[in-house]
Amino acid sequence: MKMKIAVLPGDGVGPEIVREALRVLDAVARRSGHTFEIAEHPVGGAAHDLCGDCLPAATLAAAKDADAVLLGAVGGPKWDSLPAAERPERRALLTLRKELGLYGNLRPVKVWPALKGASPLKDEIVSGGIDLLVVRELTGGAYFGEKLRSADGRSAYDVTPYSVPEIERIALLAFESARRRRGRVTSVDKANVLETSRLWRETVTRLHAAKYSDVELDHMYVDNAAMQLVRSPARFDVLLTENMFGDILSDEASQIAGSIGMLPSASLGKGGRGLYEPIHGSAPDIAGRGIANPIATILSAAMMLRYTFGLDAEADGIERAVGEVLASGIRTADIAAPGVNTVSTTKMGTAIAEVLA
């Protein structure tokens, strides 16, 4: 099986962590016999320095032509002086999402057994195991609705539009994801107040009854969901949310794992096309020092194998390798307890690849 991957290393620690993810993918290819056709392209501030555009036409064309995109990170203080529309985060990330038709964001949050002590939650909360997936609608809601400021500047409003087809396609993604996991979906809304949330709940309920009765479904108001994420996160399997609620809840959930360097993500569109990236930023303060944690990017590559290419066994293998390396005590600085020896970005990637060899 030949798979075309556009690799966009980007800025800051991006090139360092992407290099280790590619090392792991190479180990998977050698072990499984699959062929990954990989081509790197500039993006973000690095691309702006190279050709004056954070998303060059050639990079966008390559992303559209590929089966999947593996992204490192973009942005940094160096490019903050650019006009807002030309900055890496907006010009590169938002344009890629729009042009690739990416409507669903998946953020898994897992407390690895070897890292329970790194979680800010109490031992009794994390000891039962935490492994949840936030499925966030990515192209609708208040972020993309009409915005208006009054002429006198004393009032403003943001429209939060959602249509039945938009809700159905993200709900379908959540239900299908639940079938791959433990078979439970919690749909988050504010149906006691918002009309869009009432439409959301009605649509999700109808789709569940029609096609996914094998999946357990419950509904939860967003304020209660925020509370339960820190009080009893083990109760969740798949959290289905609209855009703004998902933005907030996924950032809250990311803190449960103990380090943002452990958290991957996928943004998916039609036909399995996806953009895969760690949720952390470019971390310019540690760029070039060889201390960044590559695990989030490696796990993003595992998500790519699972969701775009349907290679569940290979994705499982990467995740098991990460768990084995962590259980052996190997740590980068962000996940190490005080006084514990740490390894470099390269050594962490090499250790995981060696398990797969």
Q: List, by residue number, the catalytic residues.
A: 143, 190, 223, 247, 251
> Around 340, how many Cα atoms within 13 Å sit in the side-chain half-sphere?
14
Strands 216-221 and 184-189 turn out to be parallel
Backbone phi and psi for residue 47, each to the nearest 5 degrees, phi listed first: -70, -35
Burial class (CB in 10 A: 0-12, 13-18, 19+), 214: exposed
Phi-psi region of 19 (alpha: psi -120 to 50; beta: other; left: phi over 0): alpha
Q: Please measure the distance between the N-terminal and C-terminal CA atoms of the chain and give it in whole angstroms.
A: 19
Residue that has been written with the tokens 């960044």 in this structure: 292
* Helix ranges, 157-282 (H): 164-180, 195-211, 222-231, 243-254
Whole-angstrom CA distances from 110 to 43, 126, 195, 262 are: 29, 10, 33, 9
Cα 110 to Cα 176: distance, rounded to the nearest angstrom: 19
Q: Which amino acid is at 45?
A: G
Q: Which residues pair with 40 in a beta bridge?
A: 7
Percentage helix, strand, coil for the chain under 3-state DSSP, each rounded to 5: 50, 20, 30
Whole-angstrom CA distances from 205 to 21, 185, 187, 219 are: 39, 11, 9, 9
DSSP assignment string, 279-314: SS---TTTTTTT----HHHHHHHHHHHHHTS--HHH
Cα 350 to Cα 357: distance, rounded to the nearest angstrom: 10
Question: What are the tokens at 194?
Answer: 């918002």
